[in-house]
Amino acid sequence: MANIRVCARFRPAILQDDGEVLHFARSDSRSFTLQDENDEHHTFSFDKVFYKDSEQADVYEFLASHLVRDVVKGINGTIITYGETGAGKTYTMEGANIMETENYKKGLLPRVVDELFEVISLCGEATAYKIKLSMVEIYMERVRDLLDLSKDNIQIEEHEEHGMLLCGSTEILISDGEEALKLLSSGIANRAVGESKTNKASSRSHCIYIFTVEKEVANEKRVSTGKLVLVDLTGSETTDADGRALEEAKTIKKSLSALENMIDALISGQENHISFRDSKITRILQATLGGSFQTALLCCCSPGLCHFPKTLCTLLFGARIKALSAFNEAMSSMKETTEKLVYTTAELLRENQRLK
Ligand code: ADP
Ligand code: MG
């Protein structure tokens, strides 16, 4: 995994069950220390931390904007919102509402759409772009097409060039922002919705939005393709559930740990040992997370003290990913320095010979 940006976001305390809020003993734009009920301190560092007053526009700017500009050049990217139910994943991804007109409430998706069309409008006429949108959800380990509900068990197939293919999933060509938003809105309305303790309308499925950008330059026969995948994961709670809800919770938990294991393995360079086949979410993300793709992970956190144990799990996962990617960066820069030194030494020896 080449490039991963890990951030955390705390939403404001606006829900009834938020109760007493978390106490920050210290905080700045990249790190913070949380003080728990036993006065213990927990310090975390990320690429960026967004607090309760953070703006949707700032989250977009740091997390997504560079990926949007890169997908137009054919570089794939993935943006994942992670965290317990009610922590603000969907608010970050969609906004207060996908059709939201008030700019400050707009989430990542409408902003991705805006910037995509803006970037391609600035490219000259010699370049032709096609932007396609697919939307699927993974519910109880079945991939459902959110743009065509009759396709409720989409198969995932490995593909030499694109890494992964969602066989027969609907891909719709979008020609402007308005069309894209209408499509997103109808897809979102098709999501499987259940009731969880913390958030009545929370979805019990992972939702995956795939923007495919095809670029064709006049006089060049080649068409380059970039994919930008946005993933709104579901939370893994509802432990006191029974019946179907319990089955849902178990399935969700299993797929989330498969994803965590995969990211861990990718970052620690143990890709060969990874079983991508563990779950549907890992199989779908295999193409965008493996290799030299760019990833942004947002750990969404509730502000309530009573949610602290879950929040801690979310933050620990993010911190592990951050630490591993920092280690990787340090290793590769060390390798570069060593290579340079070896090269310079060889040059010096040659020069020495010549002078002799
Ligand atoms: P999740 O998708 O993680 O389950 P939601 O995004 O649905 O959580 O957020 C739970 C509630 O909190 C929703 O009512 C949402 O509108 C609200 N909310 C989340 N984040 C923010 C925020 N940054 N500002 C204002 N309201 C927020
Ligand atoms: Mg949600």
Beta bridge partners of 131: 174, 213
| Residue 126, marked binder | no
Burial degree of 242 (CB within 10 A; 0-12, 13-18, 19+): exposed
From 91, 238, 256, 298, give the residue whose CB has the most ligand 1 atoms within 8 Å, as the site to mutate.
91
89 marked among binding-site residues:
yes
Ligand 1 centroid distance, CA of 317 (Å): 20
| Other C-beta atoms lying within 10 Å of the C-beta of residue 114 | 16
- The Å distance, Cα 102 to ligand 1 centre, comes to 16
Say if residue 287 carries a ligand binding annotation: no
Closest CA to 230 of 101, 30, 60, 10: 60
- The answer to whether residue 28 is domain-embedded is yes
Ligand nearest to the CA of 203: 2
User: Going by CA atoms, what residue is nearest to atom 22 of ligand 1?
Assistant: 11
- Ligand-binding site membership of 87 (annotated): yes
Q: Is residue 354 situated within a structural domain? A: no
pTM: 0.89
In this prediction, residue 153 carries a pLDDT of: 94
What is the CA(230)–ligand 1 centre distance, in A?
17
Q: Consult the annotation and say whether 78 binds a ligand.
A: no
The predicted complex's ipTM stands at 0.99
Residue nearest to atom 9 of ligand 1 (CA): 88
The tokens of 90 are what?
Answer: 């969907």
Specify whether the CB–CB gap between 177 and 113 falls below 8 A. yes
Give the ligand with the smallest distance to the CA of 83: 1
Is 228 inside a domain boundary? Answer: yes
Q: Using CA positions, which residue lies closest to atom 23 of ligand 1?
A: 11
Please name which of 96, 132, 315 lies closest in space to residue 225, comparing C-alpha atoms.
132
Tally of CB atoms within 10 A around 19? 12
State in Å: Cα 52 to ligand 1 middle: 11
The answer to whether residue 352 sits within a structural domain is no
Query: Is 356 inside any structural domain?
Result: no
Atom of ligand 1 nearest to the CA of 201: 7
103 within domain boundaries: yes
> Is 348 within a domain?
no
User: Hunting for tokens 């700032």 — which residue is that?
Assistant: 58
Q: Which two tokens stand for residue 274?
A: 């990874």
**CATH code assigned at 182:** 3.40.850.10
Give the span between the Cα atoms of 130 and 312, in whole angstroms.
42
Q: Is residue 345 part of a domain?
A: no
Residue nearest to atom 10 of ligand 1 (CA): 86
Count how many domains the chain has. Answer: 1
Tell me the CB-side half-sphere exposure of residue 102, using CA atoms within 13 A: 7
Structural domain boundaries, residue 223:
4-339
Three-state secondary structure call for residue 242:
coil
Query: Checking DSSP bridges between strand 172-174 and strand 41-45, what pairing results, if any?
Result: unpaired
Tell me: is residue 319 an annotated ligand-binding position. Answer: no
Which ligand approaches the C-alpha of residue 50 most closely?
Answer: 1
- Expressed in angstroms and rounded, the spacing between residue 10 Cα and the centre of ligand 1 is 10
pLDDT, one tens digit for every residue, the chain (356 residues):
557 899 999 999 999 889 999 999 999 999 999 999 899 999 999 999 999 999 999 999 999 999 999 999 988 899 999 999 999 999 999 999 999 889 999 999 999 999 999 999 988 778 899 999 999 999 989 999 999 999 999 998 877 766 678 888 999 999 999 999 999 999 999 986 654 444 444 468 899 999 999 998 888 878 889 999 999 998 876 556 667 778 888 888 888 888 888 877 877 777 666 667 778 988 888 776 766 578 899 999 999 999 999 999 999 989 988 887 777 677 667 777 777 778 788 888 888 888 88
Q: 200 CA to middle of ligand 2, Å?
A: 10
Residues with CB under 6 A from ligand 1: 11-12, 14-15, 83, 85-91, 96, 199, 202, 235, 300
